[in-house]
Structure formats: structure tokens, C-alpha cells
Amino acid sequence: MVLLFCVDMKRDSVSWTNNRKEPLFAAQHRTGQHQTIQAHIVATEQTNAQKHSFKLSSSSTNSQNTIPMVLIFVAFILVFASISPVLSLPVVPDSGRQSSANQTFRPHAELLKLKRVRAYLRKISKPAVKIIQSPDGDVIDCVLSHKQPAFDHPELKGKKPLDPPERPRGYGSGETTPESFQLWADSGELCPEGTVPIRRTTEKDILRASSISRYGRKPERVQRDSTGNGHEHAVVFVNGDQYYGARANVNVWAPLVTDHYEFSLSQIWVISGSFGNDLNTIEAGWQVSPELYGDNYPRFFTYWTTDAYQATGCYNLLCSGFVQTNNRIAIGAAISPRSSYNGRQFDFGLMVWKDPKHGHWWLEFGSGLLVGYWPAFLFSHLRSHASMVQFGGEIVNSGSSGFHTSTQMGSGHFAEEGFGKASYFRNLQVVDWDNNLLPLTNLHQLADHPNCYDIRQGRNNVWGTYFYYGGPGRNVRCP
């Protein structure tokens, strides 16, 4: 069972049944109609032809003298046409509608790119035993577990997903599960046992990326000090010790993202190495990314890298890496329901921890629902432990307008507005060397653009360690 829950300000937690349905998206197609030729037009043309024939017969003598000139002129036209194909008219199909030049002919570079896109799709797409249509337009492929992209990795070829590991001690929850937690599940269909649901990647998805090689990857060389690279954060973090996992409940919203190449996310980072070329991270949470997904829905996502986002790692299942073991969660699919301003609040539990027996990093969604794992061999520093754990929000400010972006973080409201208005994380914990969940100590916070996005932390007996965070982006104090 997936255990998700909603939080009421007056009652600690209440279940919430999702009744909202997303609109179906459908494409309408129109077909052309053939035009008819009227009989009176034909009759008129025949009469004109007879008159024209009479005129030709009366001037036959003069025309004989011009035949050589006509032949020379026709020959000239044929030669000129053969060396000037660009002047020829485009072909008109049988439907009677003239095709535009870019429909009939494609530049060489465009054809080459499309060929590379289709080759990449063949590489990452896997045969489905069942196909599910999501209300938001996504297509979910149910793929046999041992056929998923992770098993293209040389270290995993011929193997099967591992059995569930031992969970950290000290974690229990009595929270309940909403009727729906992802939009694709609203159809009432699930993938069969022994398969995993994978959001289908399309040509349009890849063509939205800056390049095929960067599709499904974060920008390179993200530094800890994000003031100069367009990435802005409002986070809390712990460091200076050895960490073997982290857990929190993450509030879900649908923030506005105002530029195609920007995103807004809320996540947990498990980090090791320096913030140079050897940075190792494991990341999970929700994000809005028009470039990656083509819409503004908040979506459950994962990420990993071993070289500071350069050549290794990817989002979700877009490369060989993360091994999914669950048939109920589609990584990259839209989350439903979402929180509303001054209305019901929805959050989900999220935990990443290192299996003490095999050393792999496992991911849990909700309470008790194992999504899968990152094999230990993917990493260098994280093969042993993490040196830092971080929780919070991140946006990209592309600066495309000449001003600070209006892309929102969290709910789009500042932390000071509190419950029901500002986004939050609650019940923050870390996992120690002995597989115990512990409350955070020595917690630091960072808002690198506090006039645009800020953060406030607190602690109580119900929420444990928590914080509110976020903001609207551009405003009178953030020009």
C-alpha cells in the first residue's frame, strides 16, 4: 500500500480522497473534401475550343514559318529547367491541397537530428506488455522488470531486481493513503506484477532539450555557491558527519514556471565528495519542468550523478542506473492531488537510505512503498556514505527577460505566511551508521536570494524538525 496523507491545521493528519479529475486531451483531425467540376464549365470550354480551332486553321500558313523558332524556345526551356530545379513548383497531392516546402523537403541537418532522436528513442524505449493512457496525455508502458533501462548496464546484464532490504529502525506511521497519488492511476488500471510502469518518452520530449546528449540531465557544473549560475536555493542542510540516509514529508504544490528552460523543484539531496568534478548526489522529490515534460504539472522524480552533472547520471529512468522494483509508481508521472492556497494540504513521505547488507541506496515513497534502488557500483564517494544531506527548494533563473524570473518556488509565497499558504517540509530525519532514524542536530539554513525566495525553520512535538520555504521570484524587493 502507498501511504500518502494530507495535513489539516487543526488536526494533525487526515485522509483525503481525491475527487478532482484532470481534463482529457484529444486531438481533432479534419479531412479534405474533393471539389466537383460542374458540367456547364466543361461545355463552355468545349465551345471556346471550337472557336480557337477555327482561328488556328485560318493561320496555318504563318504558323509553319514559326515552327523552328518554337522548337528552339522549347529546347531552351527544357535545358534551363534541368539546371534550375529550385524554381520548380512543389508537388500538389491528390487531395488538392498544396504541401508547404518544409513538409515536402527537410534540410539535411534537420533530417540528421531527427534520425539521431529516433535512434536514441529506440535505445531507451522498452517493449510494453500493457499500455495505459493517463488523463494528462502521458502514456505509461508496463515493462517487464528485467527489461527496464537499468539492466542495459554492463554490471546488471542478466540479473534481476533485488529483494527488499531492512528498513531503518525508528520509523513508523499511522497515516492513511489517498485514493489517488498519480494522475495515470486515475484510470483505475495498474501495471501487472513483475512489470514496472515507465512514462513513455516521445520525439517532442527530446526535441525540447538543448541537445540530445543533454536530454534528461541537469546543467553541468552546479556549484555550492549558486549566485552566479542561475540556480537559486532555499534549503536546510547538515554536514560534518557520516550519513546513511534521510527522510522527510514533502508538501506538494504546482508552482508557476515562466520560462521553457527553467524549473522549480522540492527535494532531498544525499551528497558526498567535493563540489568539484567528483560530486556524487542522489536526489528525489517533485518538480515542475516544462523543458523535460512539456507541461506545468508537479511530477515525482529521481536523479543521480557521480561527476557533478557532467557525463554521468540522469533523471528518472532515462539512462542505465536506478533499478525500479515497484509496479504502482511511475517515476516522472504527475502527482495528484496537490495543495491549494488556504485550502487542503497534501504531502508525501520520502526516504532514501543505504542498505546495510548490500550497500545499495533505496528509495521509499509514502510509508512503506519501495520504489527501487541505486546500485552502489554507480558511485565513488557514495559507495561508502554521504557527507551532507540537504532538504528544500531550487529554481533556475535564466535571465531571459533581463529581469529576475517570476518562476515560483514551493507555493509561490514566502515562508512567513505559514501553514496553508507557504510550502513546507516536516519530520526531517537522517539515518546513522547503525541504520537508525535520528532527528537532525546542528541544522544550517541557506537562502541565497532571500528577497526572491526565503526559508524559516522550527520544531514541535507533532512535526518534529520542519521548515517553510519558497517565494514568488520577481517582486519589488527582487527586481
pLDDT tier, 457 (very low <50, low <70, confident <90, very high otherwise): very high
Would you state the pLDDT for residue 32?
Answer: 39
- Segment 387-399 shows an average pLDDT of 96
Rounded mean pLDDT of 437-466?
96
Measure the CA–CA gap between 136 and 284, rounded to whole angstroms: 22
Q: Say what the pLDDT of residue 128 is.
A: 97
pTM of the entire predicted model: 0.77
Which of 87-91, 314-318, 473-477 is least confident?
A: 87-91
Asked if 284 and 301 count as a contact pair (C-beta separation under 8 A), the reply is: yes
Burial class (CB in 10 A: 0-12, 13-18, 19+), 309: buried
Average pLDDT, the chain: 81
Specify burial of residue 189 (Cβ count, 10 A radius: 0-12, 13-18, 19+): middle
> Cβ-count burial of 248 within 10 angstroms (0-12 exposed, 13-18 middle, 19+ buried)?
buried
> Percent of the chain, pLDDT > 90?
63
Mean pLDDT of 438-457: 96
> Does the pLDDT value for residue 435 go beyond 70?
yes
254-293: pLDDT as tens digits: 999 999 999 999 999 999 998 888 999 999 999 999 999 9
Residue 96 has pLDDT above 90, yes or no: no
Residues annotated catalytic, as ranges: 283, 394
For the four alpha carbons of 100, 290, 303 and 367, in that order, the dihedral sign comes to negative
The residue among 104, 309, 316, 127 whose CA lies nearest residue 218 is: 309
pLDDT at 69: 54
State the alpha helices, DSSP H only, in 194-289.
Answer: 203-207
The continuous run of DSSP H or E covering 55 comes out as helix 39-58
With contact defined as beta carbons under 8 Å apart, do 272 and 307 qualify? no
Mean pLDDT of 341-366: 96
Q: How far apart are CA 14 and CA 176, in angstroms?
A: 8
Tell me what percent of the residues of the chain surpass a pLDDT of 70.
74
Residue 152 burial (CB count, 10 A): 15
Residue 54: predicted pLDDT: 37
pLDDT tens, position by position, 20-74: 333 333 333 333 333 333 333 333 334 443 444 433 334 444 444 444 554 444 4
Average pLDDT over residues 315-319: 95
Give me the pLDDT at residue 213, please: 85
Cβ atoms of residues 384 and 376 within 8 Å: no
Residue 440: name the closest of 219, 245, 285 by CA.
245
Q: Which residue has the higher pLDDT, 104 or 204?
A: 204
pLDDT per residue as tens digits for the range 209-231: 888 888 998 876 444 444 457 99
**Average pLDDT of the residues in 448-463:** 97
Instruction: Give the pLDDT of residue 60.
Output: 41
pLDDT at 117 over 80: yes
